[in-house]
Amino acid sequence: MALKVELKPHERIIIGSCVVTNTDQRARLLIDGDNIPILREKDILTPETANTPAKLVYLAVQLMYISPDPQNSHGTYFNLLRDIVVTVPSAWPIIEGINNCILSGDLYQALKEAKKLIAFEKKLLDHHAELEASRKAETERRSA
């Protein structure tokens, strides 16, 4: 079954091992093929934008997804996971979902699961920032 993709002006997409960049007008593509990795620009992370542990996990899964030999990224992936599980054990159910997708060979679904890990991490970081702001305000109030 073919995949229909509409690209915004100047939007990029990865199709297989190629990066396709649209021109200055909207474009519609009909992509026909089996097991071809396809990633829209909004779903692509670069080493520069993978600036948190969860985003690094997503990047490792992304590299597995677009690589002809996904096992090359397994070592990096599992090292990152080990660090996350030790630091944030409550992330295990999400990590288990990512692992199951990888083991079953569904790397696109693993990317979707990795997005859940990024959202979970953001929620934890936001909560931590709120606590820090609250503590700081309390300290300032006491010293005033």
What would the pLDDT profile of 61-111 be if each residue is shown by its tens digit? 999 999 989 998 899 999 999 999 999 999 999 999 999 999 999 999 999
| pLDDT, position 35 | 82
Q: What phi and psi values does residue 12 have, to the nearest 5 degrees? A: -110, 155
The domain segmentation of the chain, as residue ranges, is 1-42, 45-143
| pLDDT, position 141 | 82
**Could you give the C-alpha distances from 52 to 46, 64, 135, in angstroms and in order?**
12, 19, 24
* % residues pLDDT > 70 (the chain): 99
Residue pair 100/81 in contact by the 8 Å Cβ criterion: no
CA neighbor of 116 nearest in space, from 129, 100, 131 = 100
d(CA 56, CA 54): 5
d(CA 3, CA 30): 6
d(CA 99, CA 64): 12
- Contacts with 8 (C-beta within 8 Å, 6 or more apart), sequence order: 22, 26
| pLDDT, position 133 | 87
Q: How confident is the model at residue 60 (pLDDT cuts 50, 70, 90)?
A: very high
